[in-house]
Amino acid sequence: MKIGILGTGIVGQTIGSRLIQNHHQVMLGARSAQNEKAAQWVQQQGEHASQGTFADAARFGEILFNCTAGMASLEVLQQAGPDNLPGKILVDVSNPLDFSRGMPPVLSVCNEDSLAERIQRTFPQLKVVKTLNTMTCAIMVKPDSLQEEHNVFISGNETTAKATVTKLLQNEFGWKSVIDLGDITSARGTEMFLPLWLRLYGTFQSADFNIKIVRK
Ligand SMILES: NC(=O)c1ccc[n+]([C@@H]2O[C@H](COP(=O)([O-])OP(=O)(O)OC[C@H]3O[C@@H](n4cnc5c(N)ncnc54)[C@H](OP(=O)(O)O)[C@@H]3O)[C@@H](O)[C@H]2O)c1
């Protein structure tokens, strides 16, 4: 499958590398078609990897991942070009973290709205599925690196898009427990987990942890 990843940071690279290991073709998108991080990544990953602008990656991908800084995601999708988006699934991994006032960052949107909802409202031609944003990227693509069973969440308005993304999480990354939280408004909950995630990271001095839901 051809997969377009918007974002050249650690998340885009980690997800892209895992998908290339699974024999998919992946293009990383950036503001510049010559982005240096993407160029290094392409060199490391070989023939199934490529780079381009956000618009190039959006055009290339049959399915898209949003791995951009949350404060920039709406702008990135504008740059990706409305013509390149219709009908496509956007797996939204971003978090609306605002670092402008220092550390820890604050949420730029919360309570009665979320970044995922803003993306879905602004780009109704996309099928936005929020997932994977509640853990560090090494765990996103290798959940069995933690010994116990643990959980990933999905939120989205389209049942079929969520089913496709659930299969992708299971078959490409090895997720065993995917919890469907409901429509895209449920992304408020996972995005608002971030302040706690950041405090846990500070306490553990490690990102190697995730949520495990225990029920009676
Ligand atoms: N780090 C993790 O393990 C982790 C875990 C869960 C969720 N997340 C979320 O995943 C997303 C990606 O995180 P990351 O650490 O890999 O990367 P990041 O540094 O948050 O974002 C990098 C990407 O954002 C783009 N970008 C930044 N400012 C921009 C602007 N003003 N206009 C257009 N594009 C802009 C960059 O474009 P260029 O390529 O052109 O520079 C780059 O592709 C974030 O939303 C983060 O909160 C991260």
Asked if 107 and 192 touch (Cβ cutoff 8 Å), the reply is yes
Residue type, 114: S
Ligand 1 within 6 A of 11 CB?
Answer: yes
| Domains in the chain with CATH codes | 2-204 (3.40.50.720)
Nearest CA to ligand 1 atom 23: 68
Nearest CA to ligand 1 atom 9: 94
Ligand 1 within 6 A of 16 CB?
Answer: no
Instruction: Specify which residues 182 forms β-bridges with.
Output: 155
- Using most ligand atoms within 8 A of CB, pick from 68, 103, 136 the residue to mutate for ligand 1: 68
For the record, the structure tokens of 111 come out as 């309570």
Distance 210 CA to ligand 1 centre (A): 21
User: Which pTM was predicted?
Assistant: 0.98
For the record, the structure tokens of 187 come out as 């992304």
For the record, the structure tokens of 134 come out as 């509640």
What pLDDT is attached to residue 82? 87
Asked if 115 and 91 touch (Cβ cutoff 8 Å), the reply is no
Q: Mean pLDDT per 10-residue run, the chain (216 residues)?
A: 98 98 98 98 98 98 98 98 95 98 96 98 98 98 97 98 98 98 98 98 98 97
C-alpha span between 15 and 102 (Å, rounded): 27
Angle, vertex CA 136, rays to CA 190 and CA 5, nearest 5: 85
